[in-house]
Chain A
């Protein structure tokens, strides 16, 4: 694997506001890389610097071996871009947009009809852009981003404002892009999206990248706590749980016990304790930390704030 995007020490300001501060990371060929963080964290600015739409104040960026700002047209020819909150001409028809985009690139475009079919837009071919639903517009923008069969696809907040069904359909599409050997660079403020889709993520806040890794590694590193929640009609059970190695706290509410602790074998230990002490259990589940918890831990605030 070799990097297709190399970002080093990038800084970008708008007047006195620092949008991106010392951002450095690499994106490898064939992976889905996510830049995650709350709105206003600097994700879109970072992405637009990489796409060559904005010029960073400082730092170097190499994309597919090109300088995105000086060789922007060469780069645009090889990448596909979906922008956040983009619009097209109100009365342009779906097929006209696809046809126009197909004519803009140096190499032969892929079959627009098939692309629309894959994106379930075939029956909307003749519809005006202004009459499409949010999900249909988003799928059209994905079609436009893929029409030149790009080596690298940029997707900025691609499922924001979509219903869960449309969201899942688009996730499948993005996985399909990776399966064809392409690289995907996306931004999202939805942690579920990052967890389900991304091979690696970079967490961004206030223009800084705080950490980069696979979602699993980030969770393991920053949130090693495990939680077991169970229902047991035995008031004395709490005393047994407290002496399990690795357990840090046990709380009890009516018959519901919440056991928090560390270590990969915490769940095994709890099960062992239950069977050893013959404690009858009516419900049992584990709560695993996710990227949302990682973000809270790293920044001290929820990503939704």
Chain B
């Protein structure tokens, strides 16, 4: 099962970094958004004005973390559909490589990328965090990786159903970005209409936001065991569905 996994992962990483726009867009844009919004919110100021209070605290880092996660998933959707359309998946399948190995390599690349982008965000954020504030960067990174891993399963599902590579990016964006709006980050879930409230229960971002905000504010992992469990269950659910409907060519 592991045969070829590391080599394939390493090659996929290099191939991704050679794509100038892909690497810049996935890594650069979220960090840029963070810096611009951070400057706007002026989080460094000891007494932030009430108007930007909403973006202070956990709000901004969690929003940017979600953007990082979603852009990693979008990039996976695009890559998988391009690989399918170009016959690359089929070519890889005509080797002793297991399908799980091929997909695992992509998941690892995306998770490494997520961690790297988050690291850049922390570096950029040093300017904006109030001096002396405790940032649980390690736990936060782990929490984001768990969240991304769970959202990747929706990425697989989207990649399974998009007809052609040309539609992958827009369809993925239309499905994934609105999820951020209903994740509880901007509007409390309890304020949503009942139908939407039910929908949020099967969306991984809902649990991701709760987990990320909690960890950022210094909660322990035990307090969020339920969120991690929900993310795992949703991962298994969406992976199972996409395994059923996935097309290799």
Contacts and interface: CB of A to CB of B under 8 A. Distances in A.
B97 A104 contact: yes
Contacts of A104: 3-4, 95-97
22 contacts: A51-B94, A53-B93, A76-B95, A76-B96, A77-B96, A83-B90, A86-B87, A87-B88, A88-B88, A88-B91, A89-B11, A89-B88, A91-B14, A91-B15, A92-B11, A96-B11, A96-B14, A104-B3, A104-B4, A104-B96, A104-B97, A105-B96
Interface size class of B (residues with CB under 8 A): 20 to 34
Contact of B7 (A87, A100, A106): A100
Interface string A124-152: 00001000000000000000000000000
Given A87-B87, A92-B15, A53 B3 contact: no
Contacts of B29: none
B90 A53 contact: yes
Main SS class of interface, B: helix
Main SS class of interface, A: loop
Interface string B43-86: 00000000000000000000000000000000000000001001
Interface residues of A, number: 24
Nearest to A72: B96
Which 9 pairs across A and B sit closest by C-beta, in order of nearness? A87-B86, A91-B18, A86-B91, A81-B94, A76-B96, A104-B4, A89-B15, A86-B87, A103-B7
A53 to B, nearest CB: 6
A90 B165 CA distance: 15
B98 interface: yes
B91 A100 contact: no
Contacts of A85: 87
A84 to B, nearest CB: 9
* From B7, B8, B91, residue with most partner A Cβ within 10 Å: B91
Interface of B: 3-4, 7-8, 11-12, 14-15, 18-19, 83, 86-88, 90-91, 93-98
Interface in A58-93: 73, 76-77, 81, 83, 85-92
A193 interface: no
Nearest to A154: B94
Nearest to A52: B94
A76 B90 CA distance: 13
Given A73-B96, A86-B87, 16 more contacts: A53-B93, A73-B98, A83-B87, A83-B90, A87-B91, A89-B88, A92-B15, A100-B7, A100-B11, A101-B95, A103-B3, A103-B7, A104-B3, A104-B4, A104-B95, A105-B95
Contacts of A195: none
Interface string A89-114: 11110001001110111100000000
A90 B83 CA distance: 10
Nearest to A145: B94
Contacts of B87: 83, 85-87
A72 to B, nearest CB: 9
B7 A91 contact: no
A81 B4 CA distance: 18
Contacts of A91: 14-15, 18-19
A128 B17 CA distance: 13
A83 B11 CA distance: 21
B8 A100 contact: yes
